[in-house]
Structure 1
């Protein structure tokens, strides 16, 4: 079966450009302060720092590099992405997807993949995709990691997943979607493109499946990227995913693994194409 959706794969091209912009902005602030006083310069300084915060905390921000939020299609297809695995729930999630004829991309955590290597291989065997979701999943402070720790988090997860799966992931998702300025450089080195989302119901924290469903359904449209989770502490991710898949079927949406394609270029990941067949 061919895949009708194209996901444009954009690796950061200038991962350190933000340094130049920030230095120029601070030079301008200093000049304004010297020339016109703090009343003029201080608002610009505040705007500069607020922009940095916004660019880090907003999941679909492109301030520090590209972020994919939907796939190119006018057909009723979705890109279902499942974060935070592998976990004890992974086999049940795979059975549920099979029951609905749905395909998904699993954004996997390196240390959890080392704990459940057989689940990683089973994800691929059943025709799904995998992506890099950091090595340790620092939920509360991923956004604040420095350049060395951020590099290690992304590179170690990439090495783990490549070794276990036998393929090199081409997608990356930041933990909680928050990508600070130090994410872009390792993504460029590893050829990874960052994936955000279009529709989410906060199922990693919200334990009411119907509440999650209502939120996701309001955001559905052809080509949206749906964010889901497995293994949350509340233990109701499977119930939630069941409702979501049932509703997708009722609305005529199919969940597919899109073909990754370089902007303006050919397909770059034959293995992803094979997995989607």
Structure 2
């Protein structure tokens, strides 16, 4: 198929972009044609519907920095032409970082391994490597108040692809149906687009945690860059808390988990939910990633399955802050949750 120029692209068509050495766009009259072509491609790619919304996107296996999708998203914003390097925009969070796909079969293979080796001790061991002060779970023998309770944390909230791709309404509805509360770990760069939705979460009893400004590893960042990212995200959370009438807590606590299903790689919502549901213990801190339309959508099914599993086990789902209170920690010790991306 010929690669169209900028002038040949029409309004109200399905558009498929991919990036090799530069950006290319193709267009289709039907969704079936567009999705068929999308499945054929191995490069970083983006599928856009006739209304201009991102329907699907994927970074190629050889694109670990997500440069291809970032370039395509910038191209779509600017009229579907080629663009300069998207790295500065990625670093600032002006365009979404989409992690690279894995080799075919990786998800299925990892399921078999994960089911056998992932446990409270093995998962929390990784958290302890971040900091000896990391909060991974509460031992019910030491903290009997957590019996019957688990904490739910949702990583990479609210949404990186834009308001039309947000699944916050679906998540809120699901949590309400199951009388569950969650700690949403925010990417601060995207907070301004979702302030009303985040305020609604706070008013419904959910909690906001600090996940820096953008979804990237801060291990290679300078101390100042890391501190600035945490501080800026903290300011945005504090502003939302004040508007929701919540008293500010000044301390920061590094929050990890003991119950995790590697949901970015294991792209099977049913497995994710069942694994988390059976793995969670009294006092567990569970982690699942935020689904978006076009990105990690399987996590919605994962959350739905998890909540059903926990209901059958008579386990109550609360925020990380509430679990800490049940453990007997004072608000000053609990602090604001700070999830590190490493």
> Could you say whether these structures have the same fold, taking a TM-score greater than 0.5 normalized by the shorter chain as the test?
yes
Structure 2 residue aligned with 1:70: 137
Greater relative contact order (Cα 8 A, min sep 6): structure 1 or 2? 1
2:311 is equivalent to residue 249 of structure 1: yes
RMSD: 2.8
CA distance in 1, matches of 2:146, 2:296: 36
Match of 2:239 among 163, 174, 198: 163
- Displacement after TM superposition at 1:265 (Å): 6.9
CA distance in 1, matches of 2:230, 2:237: 11
| Structure 2 residue 181 is matched with structure 1 residue 103 | yes
CA offsets 1:18-39 (integer angstroms, 9 cap, x no match) = xxxxxxxxxxxxxxxxxxxxxx
Q: In structure 1, what is the Cα distance between the partners aligned to 2:265 and 2:214?
A: 19
The answer on 1:238 being equivalent to 2:310 is no
Report deviation, 1:162: 1.1
CA-to-partner distance for each residue in 1:210-233, whole Å, 9 max, x for gaps? 221243234221010000111352
For the Cα contact (< 8 Å) 1:69–1:198, is it kept in 2? yes
Structure 2 Cα separation of the partners of residues 266 and 234 of structure 1: 36
Residues 198 and 192 of structure 1: CA distance in aligned 2, closer, same or farther (over 3 Å): same
Residue 210 (structure 1) aligned with residue 264 (structure 2): no
2:218 pairs, out of 142, 155, 163, with: 142
How far apart, in 2, do the equivalents of 1:102 and 1:109 lie?
A: 22
- What are the residue-to-residue correspondences of 1:39-78 with 2, within 5 Å? 59-61=126-128, 64-71=131-138, 72=143, 73-78=145-150
- CA–CA distance in structure 1, aligned partners of residues 335 and 256 of structure 2: 22
* CA contact 2:134–2:254 (8 Å) conserved in 1: yes
Q: CA deviation at 1:164?
A: 2.7
Q: Give me the whole-angstrom Cα distance separating, in 1, the residues matched to 2:236 and 2:172.
A: 21
- Report the CA distance between 1:120 and its aligned residue: 1.2
SS at match of 1:60: helix
Q: Write the distance in 1 (CA, Å) between the matches of 2:132 and 2:221.
A: 17
Aligned-pair CA distance for 1:271: 11
Kept in 1, the 8 Å contact 2:274–2:309? The answer is: no
Q: What does residue 29 of structure 2 align with?
A: none
- Deviation of 1:169 after TM superposition, in Å, equals 6.6
The one of 145, 159, 172 aligned to 1:94? 172
Whether 1:129 and 2:207 are equivalent positions in the alignment is: yes
Q: Distance in 1 between matches of 2:197 and 2:312?
A: 29
CA 1:110/1:154 → structure 2, altered by over 3 Å: closer, same or farther? same
Please give the secondary structure, in 2, of the residue aligned with 1:143. coil
TM-score, length basis structure 2: 0.51
Residue 97 of structure 1, CA deviation: 0.3
* Contact preservation (8 Å) 1:79, 1:255: yes
> 1-side partners of 2:253 and 2:264: how far apart?
23
Runs of at least 5 residues in structure 2 that lack an aligned partner in the other structure: 1-124, 160-165, 337-342
Query: Conserved in 1, the CA contact under 8 Å of 2:283 and 2:323?
Result: no
SS of match in other structure, 1:66: coil
* Per-residue CA distance 1:232-260 (angstroms, 9 max, x = gap): 52322211111010111011111013154
Aligned to 1:118: 196
Instruction: Tell me the TM-score normalised to structure 1 length.
Output: 0.62
CA distance in 1, matches of 2:329, 2:287: 27
Partner of 1:97: helix, strand, or coil? helix
What stretches of structure 1 of length at least 5 have no aligned partner?
Answer: 1-57, 171-189, 273-277
